[in-house]
Amino acid sequence: MSVRIQKLPALSVFFPAYNEAGNIEEVVKQALAVLPTVAAHYEVIVVNDGSKDGTLQIARRLSKKYKRVRVANQRNKGYGGALKRGFKEAKYDWIFFTDADLQFDIAELKKFVAKTAENDLVLGYRLNRAEGMKRQILANTLKIWNRLLLGFPRNIQDIDCGFKLIHRRVLYETGPLLSDGAMVSTELLLKAYRADFRFAQIGVRHYQRRIGEATGSNTKVILKAVRDTFRLQWQMTKQELNTGLSNLAFSLRSSYTE
Ligand SMILES: Nc1nc2c(ncn2[C@@H]2O[C@H](COP(=O)(O)OP(=O)(O)O)[C@@H](O)[C@H]2O)c(=O)[nH]1
Ligand SMILES: [Mg+2]
């Protein structure tokens, strides 16, 4: 029988935020309303990724008003850079992150927490994708690209869904993440998958972005993602070569001493 967890002892939540002045307050409030129902202790971190609008000022004001909210500020590094900062700042074992643009409903986190007893990662997949044609074509191209170039597993349904609950042990194992851009999700999941971590997938609703601008599919972001794929592929090949070589050295050494 599977165990349904209702409340985690502690949970870190962070939001990667780039120019989300019109959304950040509502997102944080949504989190503060849901979190007491899913965790005994929690913290909320807004990772301001070099926003050019008033995101930082609003986040700072919220952090003064709510003691569980804090701000991590950095110059703009991209989605991956923002995730890395969030992981570094998070102090609890379970870490949840989602986008700061109100495209998801944080209340859906309850279903995710229920799966934590037997998993290391609980991954959202979008039941509907509230985005334009261009974006969907891009997403499908990226999916094929990931499969061909990196051997990405077919059974992970939605790599880029910005709604993930992860145990810290996964991050120790996957080592320092290489990608500062959008490829970070591919890198994280691929490494976790190869390290045999247990994962569950849950469908979540996706809502239209009402305020602010989605920059996830602009040319700069795409070019960075392409470059990161090659870097990732090279890094993983190197890692495999190293393991292969040390295994070989080990078997040579043991046959020598036998
Ligand atoms: N595009 C973009 N998003 C960032 C960056 N840094 C953090 N983010 C956040 O990453 C999340 C996803 O970005 P978004 O543009 O909505 O991507 P999309 O929903 O995939 O189109 C949002 O919460 C952004 O605020 C960045 O440099 N670029
Ligand atoms: Mg978005």
Ligand nearest to the CA of residue 79, numbered in listed order? 1
Comparing 181 with 92, the larger pLDDT belongs to: 92
181 lines ligand 1 (CB under 6 A): no
| Helix, strand or coil, per DSSP, at residue 65 | helix
- The reported pTM is 0.90
Atom 16 of ligand 1, residue of closest alpha carbon: 214
200 close to 115: Cβ distance less than 8 angstroms:
yes
Give the structural domain span for 81: 8-257
Question: What is the rounded CA–CA span in Å between residue 120 and residue 91?
Answer: 17
Report the DSSP beta bridge partners of residue 8: 39
- pLDDT exceeding 90 applies to what percent of the chain? 65
Residue 1: pLDDT band with limits 50, 70, 90: low
Q: Please compute the mean of the pLDDT values over residues 101-112 and round it to a whole number.
A: 97
The answer to whether position 175 is within a domain reads yes
214 lines ligand 1 (CB under 6 A): yes
Angle at 54 between CA 52 and CA 58, to 5 degrees: 145
The answer to whether position 2 is within a domain reads no
86 lines ligand 1 (CB under 6 A): no
| Longest CA span, the chain | 69
100 lines ligand 1 (CB under 6 A): yes
Instruction: Count Cβ atoms below 10 Å from residue 164 Cβ, excluding itself.
Output: 19
Residue 7: pLDDT band with limits 50, 70, 90: very high
Query: What's the whole-number average pLDDT of the chain?
Result: 91
Residue 52: pLDDT band with limits 50, 70, 90: very high
Q: What is the pLDDT of residue 257?
A: 65
Q: How far is the CA of 253 from the centre of ligand 2 (A)?
A: 53
Both structure tokens of 224: 């960075």
The answer to whether position 1 is within a domain reads no
The answer to whether position 3 is within a domain reads no
Q: What is the pLDDT of residue 38?
A: 98
CATH classification of the domain holding 106:
3.90.550.10
Question: What is the rounded CA–CA span in Å between residue 80 and residue 23?
Answer: 20
Name the domain count of the chain: 1
The answer to whether position 98 is within a domain reads yes
